Amino acid sequence: MKLFSFPTAALEKAIAKRMLALDPVARDWFSERWAQKPYKKSFVEKKAMPLVIFVAKGKNWTDEEFDQELAGWDVNFYPAEVDVLRPIAEGDGMLQLMQKKVPPERIEKLLRHVHSRTIHCVA
């Protein structure tokens, strides 16, 4: 993944805001994990920040670069995590300016990738 500097505190705040919009079961599941420092750090570094990078830099990459980076993003997601991340990919809130010029097909491809890597059993 190419280097990109985005304030982690702003991202964590945006995630916490989106967490409030989850349905109660998903909110409980995500909140319980979000309160654990190792999970929070891992989620931000391996899932949320790469998503921000795809949104911010995706508009400048060639199709080949985008597909290569996407293929290299090898993480699995739980349904509640997808619900937290989807608004970020769609340009809600803080990312609206960065997201403006991202081709819609790239956002769709990004969301398809996330959904294809979703673990459907929450334990």
Q: Which residue has the higher pLDDT, 79 or 53?
A: 79
CA–CA gap between residue 96 and residue 80 (Å, rounded): 22
Q: Give yes or no for a contact between 41 and 106, defined as CB atoms under 8 angstroms apart.
A: no
pLDDT at residue 76, as a whole number: 94
Bridge partners (DSSP) of residue 77 are 118
Q: What is the pLDDT of residue 123?
A: 46
The whole-number pLDDT of residue 6 equals: 66
Please report the pLDDT score of residue 41 as a whole number: 94
Mean pLDDT (whole number) for 68-87: 92
Task: Please give the average per-residue pLDDT across 9-19, as a whole number.
Answer: 87
Q: Is 27:77 a contact under the CB 8 Å cutoff? A: no
| Residue-level pLDDT at 1 | 47
Residue 106: helix, strand or coil by DSSP?
helix
